[in-house]
Amino acid sequence: MSSEYAPTGAHGYGDPVPTPRNGAAVAGLVLGIVALLLCLTVLGAVLSVLLAVVGLVLSIVGLRRVGRRRATNKGVAVTGLVVNAVALLIAAVITAFLAVGLAYALDNGGSDAWSCLVDAGGDQAAVQRCVDDLDAGTAGR
């Protein structure tokens, strides 16, 4: 009993037009959130730089899709840009502090202390001597 004039959608309005999706913007936002959470940990700061850069690129691709009218979720793309930029900034600052701190530690007896601890192996008395020497400022000398 189908008629060629029968309505196809609910209430006779036809099928709704599907909204274009923007997977690049969503992926960029997700990577930005992960990068932001990781950059707050010391070990994750370096990894979050990489994630934030990839998320930034994906957010830019998503924003360009919105500009070409291939997607409609501009807010997700802009939020991804902001979150990735903030994560990249925080992670870069933390990574720089880690690099400067490591260089300072190595220049000020850190490598001698490390060598002393490696040479001590599992001998607890030798490890304690290394700690005592480090406190006295003469580690490995």
3-state helix/strand/coil string of 35-81? HHHHHCCCCCHHHHHHHHHHHHHHHHHHHHHHHCCCCCCHHHHHHHH
Residue 8 lies in a domain: no
| Mean pLDDT of the region 79-90 | 94
Please tell me whether residues 36 and 69 are part of one structural domain: yes
Q: How far is CA 76 from the centre of its chain?
A: 17
Question: 39-58 pLDDT, tens per residue?
Answer: 888 778 888 889 999 999 99
Confidence at 7, pLDDT banded by 50, 70, 90: low
Please give the tally of structural domains in the chain.
2
My answer on whether 30 and 86 are in the same domain is yes
**Same-domain pairing of 34 and 88:** yes
23, pLDDT greater than 80: yes
**Whether residue 139 sits in one domain with residue 72:** no
Residue 16, judged by CB atoms within 10 A of its CB (0-12, 13-18, 19+), counts as exposed
- Are residues 25 and 82 located together in one domain of the fold? yes
Question: In terms of residue numbers, what domain contains 112?
Answer: 105-141
Assigned domain for 29 exists = yes
- Is the domain of 84 the same as that of 25? yes
27 & 94 share domain: yes
Structure tokens, 116: 């002393």
Domain membership of residue 64 (yes or no) is yes
Report residue 140's pLDDT band, with 50, 70 and 90 as the boundaries.
very low
- Asked if the structure places residue 10 within a domain, the reply is no
Considering the domain architecture, whether residues 137 and 72 belong to the same structural domain is answered as no
Residue 109, pLDDT score = 67
pLDDT digits (tens, 9 = 90+) for 109-131: 667 777 777 877 778 888 788 77
